[in-house]
Structure 1
Amino acid sequence: MAAKKFKYEEFLPVYQQVLKDVVEGTYDDILEGVRVFDKEGNGTVMGAEIRHVLRTLGKSIESKTLMAQFKQHVG
């Protein structure tokens, strides 16, 4: 199974929705933080990294739920 990758612009609206009561800072602050996980420097983040970050922040999310959120915001 191929790893899922998401562009920053796709990730941020979902991230903000999932963590709306926890996220502090501006869009640019969040974008800067997400770039840390762009291991290839190509503007994408692995889905597994997103799940890891959310779990670390205390927000467990299943793959199905994460993908549904992305589909809702990205199309």
Structure 2
Amino acid sequence: MLIRNECVLIDFQYMLEAQARRCLDFIDGASKVLAGNLQKVGASMYLLTPINVIVDAEEMTLAANGQDVSFNYDMKRR
């Protein structure tokens, strides 16, 4: 997906810590080889973006003009 200039949001919430760490190491290496960016956006979430995409969390909160823009990323079915 990174090669196709697509952003990827990855959630390691339901993985064992050792598995998540190995996946994160692999993805971090791939992002460097493919000239992408990897940044932590939550407790267990990472955003992988192509080099031409810039994400600034502070700027997103300013654009909301004080509105609540929180979103529940938990996709677990109950």
Per the TM superposition, whether the score is higher than 0.5 is: no
Q: Which has the higher contact order (CA 8 A, sep 6+)?
A: 1
Q: More helix by proportion, 1 or 2?
A: 1
Larger radius of gyration: 2
* TM-score with structure 2 setting the length: 0.29
Q: More strand by proportion, 1 or 2?
A: 2
* TM-score with structure 1 setting the length: 0.30
